[in-house]
Amino acid sequence: MKHVTLGLAASTLALSVATAAYAQAIEVQWWHAMGGVNGERVDKIAADFNATQSEYKIVPVYKGNYTETMTAAIAAFRAGEQPAIVQVFEVGTATMMAAKGAVYPVEQLMADTGQPFDKDAFLPAVISYYQTPEGELLSMPFNSSTPVLWYNKDALDAAGAKIPTTWDEVKESAQKLVDNGMKCGFSFGWQSWVMIENYSAWHNIPMGTRENGFAGFDAELTFNNDAVENRLQKIADWQKDNLFVYGGRRGDSLPMFTGGECGMWLNSSAYYGSIKSQADFNFGQTMLPLDTDVADAPQNSIIGGATLWVLKGRPEAEYEGVARFLNYLSSPEVQAWWHQETGYVPITTAAYELSKSQGFYESNPGTDTAIKQLSLNTPTPASKGLRFGNFVQIRDIINEEMEALWAGDKTAKEAMDSAVERGNVLLRKFERSVR
């Protein structure tokens, strides 16, 4: 009995010491935009890291959607109440770069804290989006995705329709789906990202001058070209036969696909988890369709999603914890798990190889589509992404103009001409602000 009592006392003492150490851990705030199930996955990553050591405690805080999270972080920085880490979507890159004195470049952070860091370990299509012209990595890639063509295999088979590889085949398959009783052939979400930004990159067409903004903030938008306008006009014309049905700006149209209303859906590879849990039919994903009127072969798609930016102005003691956490976050095991759970692209070659060796792609055919698209060819100045200032607001303009097209209030040419004209006003405003 004496031994049992002593054993219990020792266990209680050890627990108390551990609890006290954890209570004294340096807290590191991580503001993010991952709601729902992905928010739970973010919490797990933080908790798992916290369990590996007792010096630092990563505290994830959901701050709303991407725009709301970035806006909150900017306001907090001005008030001196910023987090150490904030998740910012890819189109906020130019805004973050222009925030002088606010950003602690990740590559510099890792060097300053002595954490191991190898840029060559990252997928080129992922890392290039977030580097300076000199090659310095500004933020840590986290949840990167690219749009793919999702399809209802059961519906296609029942209609005698093929999995399309070109836009002509999209029309043919959509017609067969509708003829077979479906309410719509296809839809898409995040329409600026999918149908203008990625359509342009996929066909190696610049969206703007100055290498899509990478070469300078004095860029101008040029996506009101024949290729974009002709493709959008054809899609608008298909509405009369329900070959295409518009379903909203972001992921609003997901239920149209998972509910069996539309047989095909163009949107992010990161919807894998949602589709897997919601669809009661056999589904798959394939590469973006090629517009054979514009190109003979695809170039490469570009990423969406977000990276983690480190903000200056926090107590010095926090940054060692930030660096250690980012090192943990980019490890093959964590990235492979995140990729397999969500459909986001593994940010490193090692995570991709680990997923392959674990048999994930063999068991889940098509889940490597996004990686193949991004790695199809070496990115060109027209296909490595975009870095336009005020692009969050410009996307809103593009959405407004595209919705005017779907409503029949404007032609594609009128809508794109207006989007470019209005967007260029915001580019000049941004250029003046950074100078």
**Residues with Cβ < 8 Å from 388, sequence gap 6 or more?**
91, 94, 208, 212, 213, 219, 221, 394, 423, 427, 430
Residue with tokens 């001409």: 417
- Has this prediction a pTM greater than 0.75? yes
Residue 215 is predicted with a pLDDT of 92
CB-CB contact of 285 with 269 (8 Å): yes
What is the share, in percent, of the chain residues with pLDDT greater than 90?
87
* Domains in the chain: boundaries: 22-145+304-362, 147-301+389-434
Looking at residue 124, its amino acid is P
Q: What confidence tens digit (pLDDT) does each residue in 112-140 have?
A: 999 999 999 998 888 888 988 888 999 99
Residue 20 has pLDDT above 70, yes or no: no
Residue 354 is predicted with a pLDDT of 97
Q: What is the CATH number of domain 147-301+389-434?
A: 3.40.190.10
Taking each helix axis as running N to C, give the angle between helix 226-238 and helix 412-434, from 0 to 180 degrees, rounded to the nearest 10. 130
Q: What confidence tens digit (pLDDT) does each residue in 221-246 have?
A: 999 999 999 999 999 999 999 999 99
Angle at Cα 25 formed by Cα 20 and Cα 26, nearest 5°? 155
**pLDDT tier for residue 261 given thresholds of 50, 70 and 90:** very high
Q: What confidence tens digit (pLDDT) does each residue in 364-376 have?
A: 999 999 999 999 9
What integer best gives the mean pLDDT of the chain? 93
Which carries the bigger pLDDT value, residue 326 or residue 435?
A: 326
**pLDDT tier for residue 23 given thresholds of 50, 70 and 90:** low
Q: What confidence tens digit (pLDDT) does each residue in 26-46 have?
A: 999 999 999 999 999 999 999
Q: Which of 214-218, 258-262, 404-408 has the lowest mean pLDDT?
A: 214-218
Residue 99 is predicted with a pLDDT of 86
> Cα–Cα distance between 220 and 431 in angstroms, integer?
11
**pLDDT tier for residue 75 given thresholds of 50, 70 and 90:** very high
Q: What confidence tens digit (pLDDT) does each residue in 420-433 have?
A: 999 999 999 999 99
What is the share, in percent, of the chain residues with pLDDT greater than 70?
95
Superfamily of domain 22-145+304-362: Periplasmic binding protein-like II (3.40.190.10)
